[in-house]
C-alpha cells in the first residue's frame, strides 16, 4: 500500500489496519451486543491509530487519547473523533462487566460507523485504491 504522495505505508500502519480489520470481523461474528460494540470500537481505535502513526510519533508531553491526536493530525476527521470518543466510556463499562447498557441498535450503529471509518481511513492512506468496500461479512462490493 502507498500513502498519499506515493510513499510506501510503514509496516506499523499496515499492522494497525490488519488489526482493525480483525476487530471488524470479530464484531460482525459477535452475537452479543456488548461484544459487538467493544470489537467495533476497537476497530475504530486501530484505524485512528494507523492515521496517527502515518504522521509519525505522537508529540512528547502529556498523554493524549488517540481521538485527540487524530484531530490534530487530520482535522477533517474531527467528527469521527468526537463520535468514537463518545463511546469510550460505554466501552470501559462493558470492559468492567456492565454491558447491559449496550442495545443491539447501538452496537449495530457503532459497527456500521467503524466500517465506514475504516473505509475512509483506507482511502486517505491510498486514494488510488479506488472505493472498494471490503466487508468483514465476506462480500466485496464496489460503490457506483
What distance in Å separates the CA atoms of residue 67 and residue 23, rounded to the nearest whole number? 18
| Within-domain flag for 144 | no
Contacts 24+ apart (CB under 8 A), 25-31: 25/136, 27/111, 27/114, 27/136, 28/111, 28/136, 28/137
| Within-domain flag for 138 | no
Residue 136 φ/ψ, nearest 5 degrees: -65, -15
Question: Is the Cβ–Cβ distance between 136 and 27 less than 8 Å?
Answer: yes
Query: Is pLDDT of 135 > 50?
Result: no
| Within-domain flag for 143 | no
What distance in Å separates the CA atoms of residue 140 and residue 118, rounded to the nearest whole number? 14
| Within-domain flag for 15 | yes
| Within-domain flag for 142 | no
What distance in Å separates the CA atoms of residue 53 and residue 47, rounded to the nearest whole number? 10
| Within-domain flag for 1 | no
pLDDT digits (tens, 9 = 90+) for 24-66: 999 999 999 999 999 999 999 999 999 999 988 656 655 578 9
| Within-domain flag for 136 | no
In this prediction, residue 47 carries a pLDDT of 97
Confidence at 138, pLDDT banded by 50, 70, 90: very low
Confidence at 129, pLDDT banded by 50, 70, 90: low
Residues linked to residue 141 through DSSP beta bridges, in sequence order: 133
| Within-domain flag for 6 | no
Domain residues for the domain of 85 are 11-124
| CATH code of 85's domain | 1.20.120
Domain count, the chain: 1
Question: Is the Cβ–Cβ distance between 25 and 141 less than 8 Å?
Answer: no
Amino acid at each position: 500500500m502507498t500513502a498519499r504522495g506515493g510513499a510506501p505505508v510503514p509496516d506499523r500502519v499496515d499492522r494497525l489496519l490488519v488489526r482493525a480489520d480483525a476487530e471488524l470481523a470479530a464484531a460482525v461474528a459477535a452475537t452479543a451486543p456488548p461484544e459487538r460494540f467493544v470489537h467495533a470500537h476497537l476497530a475504530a481505535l486501530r484505524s485512528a491509530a494507523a492515521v496517527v502513526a502515518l504522521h509519525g510519533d505522537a508529540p512528547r508531553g502529556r498523554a493524549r487519547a488517540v481521538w485527540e491526536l487524530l484531530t490534530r493530525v487530520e482535522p477533517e476527521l474531527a467528527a469521527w473523533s468526537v463520535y468514537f470518543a463518545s463511546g469510550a466510556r460505554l466501552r470501559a463499562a462493558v470492559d468492567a462487566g456492565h454491558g447491559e447498557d449496550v442495545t443491539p441498535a447501538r452496537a449495530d450503529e457503532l459497527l456500521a460507523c467503524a466500517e465506514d471509518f475504516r473505509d475512509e481511513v483506507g482511502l486517505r492512506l491510498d486514494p488510488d485504491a479506488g472505493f472498494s468496500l471490503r466487508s468483514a461479512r465476506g462480500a466485496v462490493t464496489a460503490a457506483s
